[in-house]
Amino acid sequence: MRLVHLSDIHLSNSNYHEFVHKYRKALISDLKNFNALKKIDTLLITGDLVDKGGHSLLEIKGFDGYKNPYDIFDEVFIQPILEGVGISKDNILFIPGNHDVNEREFSYYDECELIDKIDESSIESFLKDNQSTFLHNERIKNFKEFERAFHLNNSLYDFSNNHSTYIYNYADEFKIGFILINDSWRCKTRKFIGEEESKIFFGYHQLDYGLEYFETHKTDLNICLFHHSLDDYAEKKEVERILRTKEIELFLYGHYHNTKFEYSYDPFGSCVGIRGRAALNRPEEKISEYQPGYQIIDLDLNSYKVNKIHYRKYIYNGSRFDSDTETALGGIVQDQQVFILRRENRTSKGFDLDREKFYKS
């Protein structure tokens, strides 16, 4: 199974010209080349589709009459990839990042009340209020309304204003569950006078509810999409406990615009975490660590492991994508022991074709 992981696109009027005239063609060409060698099953975007709420996109000539910036994102980013690469609309999944909130949609009074009231003991009640309304999360409404409409006809997609879930049937043999976490509904860029710097409360119960849904559908492998790093969460310990002990084998995230690999192990299972570069953001970025790029992740579902990670990087001077040799030798990481996706009492469905078991050097 082949996954494409993009994060932190930050589409805006400042990078729009480069995106339309150079970057988009380069990305589609790169994806087409990989798709020709092995079919891309899902394309995953872990937040920050637009920059600062996307308001600058509405000011670009030609988009008069648009009210939701995500409709512009769909038209200029998603649809060309669908058509150019041949990926099904159902298999493009995305979550909100902190830049996907509309900060024009919350009041000082309401925000002060939320700051005072939200903690580990109360967060679940706020999630319940948010499930099907925008009582406490009006700032995420633009994104969530776009998400709902985008997947409206996808029978395998279960939407909510909090987390959403999707089940991908691979080769009619494996059920792959995706938990799409909304960890940004409390985000804002401005601090109030006297407000202390604090971690994010997003409601770790989203993970529990997603896993409960997958349990009823008997998924074989579960993948979680976050935007933020685990270190950013006020509920970090609870999230880590779920990742270590429950049936989530892989999580993908972004936010910091550079790559990172994490591995959590417990006697009852393990979880692999992969952070991606910013996919676009500042295409002319001078600092190599933060230059645009993305990942292609190949899973071996017969033996339940990450078989290979292709790290790709946008070469600004050449207007093309190439191997990200700064992140990995030759731009590829493979055959690592930590890539095994363990789950308690799970048996392989297929035949493990590990060449080392059949051939001697």
Tokens linked to 88: 């099904």
Contacts of 295 (CB under 8 A, 6+ apart): 4, 5, 259, 274, 276, 309, 310, 311, 312
Q: Look-up: residue for tokens 């109030």?
A: 192
The pLDDT assigned to 349 comes to: 64
Domains of the chain: 2-357 (3.60.21.10)
The pLDDT assigned to 355 comes to: 39
Q: Distance between alpha carbon 282 and the CA centroid of its chain, in Å?
A: 19
- The amino acid that residue 289 corresponds to is E
Residues of the chain with pLDDT under 50: 351-361
Query: DSSP 3-state assignment of 308?
Result: strand
The pLDDT assigned to 292 comes to: 99
The pLDDT assigned to 103 comes to: 87
What are the φ and ψ backbone dihedral angles of 148, each rounded to 5 degrees?
A: -60, -50
Contacts of 3 (CB under 8 A, 6+ apart): 40, 41, 42, 43, 44, 223, 252, 296, 297, 298, 299
Q: Of 255, 90, 238, nearest to 176 (Cα)?
A: 90
Please tell me the distance from the alpha carbon of residue 203 to that of residue 237, in angstroms, as a whole number: 12
The pLDDT assigned to 346 comes to: 67
The angle formed by the CA atoms of residues 174, 31 and 248, to the nearest 5 degrees, is 35
- The 10 Å CB-count burial string (b at 16+, else e) for 181-197 is bbbbbbbeeeeeeeeee
Does pTM top 0.85 for this prediction? Answer: yes
